[in-house]
Amino acid sequence: MACHVGSLVRSLMLGLLAGMSTAAAAQETSAPASSAPTEATEKAIRQSASDFSTAFKQQDAQAIAELWTPDGVYVDEEGVQHVGREAIQQLYQAFFAANDPLEMQIYIDSMRQVTDDVIVEQGTAKLVPAPLGAPAASKYVAIHVKQNDGKWLMDSVRDSSVDIPTTYDRLVHLEMLVGDWAADHNDAQISLSSNWNPTKTFLERRFVVTHDGQQSTSTEIIGWDPSTGQVTSWTFSDDGSHNVGHWTALEDGWVVRNRGITAAGVPTASTDFWAPLLDDALGWRSTQRTAGGATVADPQAVVLKKPTSDTKN
């Protein structure tokens, strides 16, 4: 199947439910008015959603396909039908082979029982961490059919993409900062983890510096500040100091003009530069540093790299 990864991401968001199967529709013609499912039935449907999320996180395409009936159908947002467990399993295998492990968050909005053997479920699904590009979620409607052994399986699935209101277009140039980074610098180990929040309105970064067995941490939130019309960062360190930075995109990176204060109440300032380098590396340097109005020596530049598989293990 030829498919752009971004489209596949949106399509798979709803590999959890939806649509109308011919068998389910036939059963529905003689069904009584829909009603809320029993407690036991609702528990079974919620367990199915949980099993889907677990299998997705573990990249287990076979386990996902087995949540469908043998002839189950998944219809993606472009109207493409994937019929049968084998086709559904192949779809997820292709996605998992092309992507790092992800989590799928499933939010069930409603359930209604249209016959003793048919449940309609509606909800929303999101990928975490969010894929590249503007944030999106999938709305789904699902048909679950009760089997002879009493187990509930998905009989068909249809999804539709929903755009999420966001300021991502103001922050898209920060995509290069996303990920895990590390450096050994002057006998210290530096790690940096950067991830979007679910709606991509903020980039959350966590810094950890370890030196002589002592560890210090800082948390930074980067987002669009409508009151100033600028990309702004707010950084908080475990020693009680904090600062605010205003970001400006350059052709080869970003310049950040910081103003802060120490835990002792001393005002600080600096101009920092972040630049993506070759081979999955990220450069940082800081200049024009002051504390209490006095000039402070600039630190050495730091080059952070994405850890290799061996380093992660």
CB 256 within 8 A of CB 274: yes
Q: What is the dihedral of CA 35, 41, 44, 46, to 10 degrees?
A: 30
What is the band of 24 on the pLDDT scale with cuts at 50, 70, 90?
very low
The pLDDT of residue 164 is 66
pLDDT, residue 79, reads 83
Edge to edge, the sheet with strand 152-163 lists 81-83, 68-75, 152-163, 136-146, 118-128, 103-115
Query: In this predicted model, what pLDDT tens digit does every residue of 116-164 receive, in sequence order?
Result: 999 999 998 888 776 666 566 788 889 999 999 999 999 988 888 776 6
CA–CA distances in Å: residue 128 to residues 16, 22, 132, 232, 305: 16, 33, 11, 24, 23
pLDDT at 182: 95
Kind and range of the H or E run holding 23: helix 22-28
Rounded mean pLDDT of 195-217? 92
Q: What is the CATH number of domain 5-163?
A: 3.10.450.50
Report yes or no: 78 and 7 within 8 Å, Cβ to Cβ.
yes
Residue 196 scores a pLDDT above 80: yes
The amino acid that residue 254 corresponds to is: W
Q: Look at the domain 169-307 and name its fold.
A: Lipocalin (2.40.128)
Residue 82: what pLDDT? 94
Domain ranges in the chain?
5-163, 169-307
3 state SS of 31: coil
pTM of the model: 0.56
For the stretch 224-275, pLDDT in tens is 998 888 999 999 999 999 999 999 999 889 999 999 999 999 999 999 999 9
Backbone angles phi, psi at 188, to 5 degrees: -120, 150
